[in-house]
Amino acid sequence: MGHDRVVLLGPTGGFSTNSISFRGSTITSGTLTLPGGTRLVSIRATNPADTGNPGASTVTIACSGQPTVSQTVNLNSTVTLTTGWTAPCNVVTITSSNNWHTNFDDLVYQ
């Protein structure tokens, strides 16, 4: 995702390594461009109980021509979202209903 939309964070929530999150409280989505001819296999999302976190987050992953993946990430939970996509799709939109409170890590593509 573009640097104007995300920020790199240290370990947080269910992640023991660096992760990314949306840069501000008004940003709820961004696009991620993968190398051509690849597809997103999975990404992990964590929703830590930090100050001001409104609660559960709905995370959505979309790519033109592929089924949209959506999952609730409860407060203090970490989930792996698996796309099941079979065709290449290198521009992916990631959305989180609770903006910067949801962090992302462990992106897998092939």
Q: pTM for the full model?
A: 0.90
What pLDDT, on a 0 to 100 scale, did the predictor assign at position 80?
Answer: 97
- Residue 43: CB partners within 8 Å, gap ≥ 6? 61, 80, 81, 94, 104, 105, 106, 107, 108
Structural domains in the chain, sorted by start: 6-109 (2.60.120)
Over residues 31-58, the pLDDT tens digits come to 999 999 999 999 999 999 988 888 999 9
Mean pLDDT of 14-23: 90
What pLDDT, on a 0 to 100 scale, did the predictor assign at position 1?
Answer: 60
Over residues 77-92, the pLDDT tens digits come to 999 999 999 999 999 9
